[in-house]
Chain A
């Protein structure tokens, strides 16, 4: 432990900088963890494959599309977001406690983690870099309209913006308003209109199917 202790002082006195060969260092760390019996290579392969091939914003989009088409589901989602989302098979790490926020013509919801980068991984996937950036985390609580302009979004001044700071383990999903002129679309077609940003509150759903 004395080695580690000395190292901590070293790091207190000099700013830490990432190693030039970070891949080699992460590989070394992983191999030591495997030798200690704390992980296996196939566990990490499985996690990466899950995030690259399965977990992503299309899961959240299905929740939104169902909330648009099924009034009783919408009611259950409003009452208990976690259970209603789990009905569709979505639960997991960082998605244990979810509250759905419903936009209306006069209320626009957005969420942020000002203290770190909390995000519902198994509902929306790995967070984008901008969500984790100091610029977004600093600015969205004091200047939400300026942040929306960074995304090319303009809201009327009488629309109340509700910015939710996920400072605990509660996670959020915005249920945007259903775009006009989508009455004939199926739930699957509707889910294709739902963008990741529209579920964070920095954007809106597409107006028409990307396929049409």
Chain B
């Protein structure tokens, strides 16, 4: 969808502010929120792509006005309600009961893990690869010129707006990976060939490209690409 999350090339957002000696989590609830997100994925509640899609739908003002982990809370409240697992009213009631003590900062790993904690730790340290076998041969190879499609779906996509309908050159073939659109649409693992495609700055930004040599390489699925005709300029 053409939402506010699709930020590449937007102007007016100010300078990049860097925090010195930043901790992984700025408050105990941020770490627990990170754990909740990973746990939901390990337990098969949702794919990462569904979390991203939920955040993309939170609205422009909310998106720009909230922190990273506030967005995650929004995403999981929304996803868990949508899937009929936990409603916002249940969370409201639990908050109103107002029981527990403050969260422990910097929890330690217990000496004896429950089987579920062992499983989550194994996933954290082992990963969940996204590549899958695909019989169909890749259409493109490094060096090929391609044009991205001019697509504006109202649903989840990983084709950023600033690289649509542009001619670029395939730099890397990454193999076939699960298509995130299929994950969001409930179609499960649907592999598609994935490439890094290079675009010249002047192709993307025309005469307003920043002075000095630069290029952008974006990772794009094969169904976002068509062969570019020879006469096209990059």
Q: Which residues of A contact B172 (CB under 8 A)?
A: 99
The verdict on A188 contacting chain B, using a C-beta distance below 8 Å, is: no
Q: Which residues of A contact B160 (CB under 8 A)?
A: 114-115, 165, 167
What is the CB-to-nearest-CB distance from B221 to chain A, in angstroms, rounded to a whole number? 7
Give bound CA distance, A114 to B40, whole Å: 24
Cβ B194 vs Cβ A49 within 8 A: no
- Contact flags (1/0) for B85-120 with A, using CB distance below 8 Å? 111111100110010101100111110011011011
Q: Which residues of B contact A116 (CB under 8 A)?
A: 5, 52, 55
Q: Which residues of B contact A47 (CB under 8 A)?
A: 31, 34-35, 38-39, 120-121, 124
Give bound CA distance, A143 to B201, whole Å: 10
Given contact pairs A134-B7, A168-B158, A43 touches B39 in the complex (Cβ within 8 A):
yes
The verdict on B70 contacting chain A, using a C-beta distance below 8 Å, is: yes
The verdict on A75 contacting chain B, using a C-beta distance below 8 Å, is: no
Cβ B117 vs Cβ A42 within 8 A: yes
Give bound CA distance, A52 to B117, whole Å: 17
Cβ A43 vs Cβ B116 within 8 A: yes
Q: Which residues of A contact B14 (CB under 8 A)?
A: 135
Interface set, chain B 30-75, CB cutoff 8 A to A: 31-36, 38-40, 43, 45, 52, 55, 58-59, 61-62, 64-68, 70, 73-74
Cβ A4 vs Cβ B18 within 8 A: no
Q: Which residues of B contact A17 (CB under 8 A)?
A: 62, 65-66
The verdict on A183 contacting chain B, using a C-beta distance below 8 Å, is: no
Cβ A8 vs Cβ B110 within 8 A: no
- Contact flags (1/0) for B5-44 with A, using CB distance below 8 Å? 1111111011111110011110111011111101110010
Q: Which residues of A contact B27 (CB under 8 A)?
A: 23
Cβ A159 vs Cβ B213 within 8 A: yes
Given contact pairs A93-B38, A128-B19, A168-B194, A30 touches B32 in the complex (Cβ within 8 A):
yes
Q: Which residues of A contact B98 (CB under 8 A)?
A: 24
- Contact flags (1/0) for A84-103 with B, using CB distance below 8 Å? 00000001111111010000
The one of B16, B43, B113 in contact with A39, judged by C-beta atoms closer than 8 angstroms, is B43
B60 nearest CB neighbor, chain A only:
A15
Q: Which residues of A contact B146 (CB under 8 A)?
A: none
Q: Which residues of A contact B45 (CB under 8 A)?
A: 38
Interface set, chain A 139-183, CB cutoff 8 A to B: 139, 141-147, 150-151, 155, 157-170
Give bound CA distance, A42 to B39, whole Å: 11
A127 nearest CB neighbor, chain B only:
B68
Given contact pairs A28-B91, A52-B31, A137-B7, A161 touches B214 in the complex (Cβ within 8 A):
yes
Query: Which residues of B are at the interface with A, using a C-beta cutoff of 8 A?
Result: 5-11, 13-19, 22-25, 27-29, 31-36, 38-40, 43, 45, 52, 55, 58-59, 61-62, 64-68, 70, 73-74, 76-78, 80-82, 84-91, 94-95, 98, 100, 102-103, 106-110, 113-114, 116-117, 119-121, 123-131, 158-160, 162-163, 172, 174-175, 177-178, 180, 194, 196, 198, 201, 204-205, 209-221
10 extra A-B contacts, CB within 8 A, seeds A52-B31, A115-B6, A122-B124: A19-B95, A36-B86, A38-B39, A39-B40, A49-B108, A125-B24, A126-B25, A134-B13, A142-B8, A158-B212
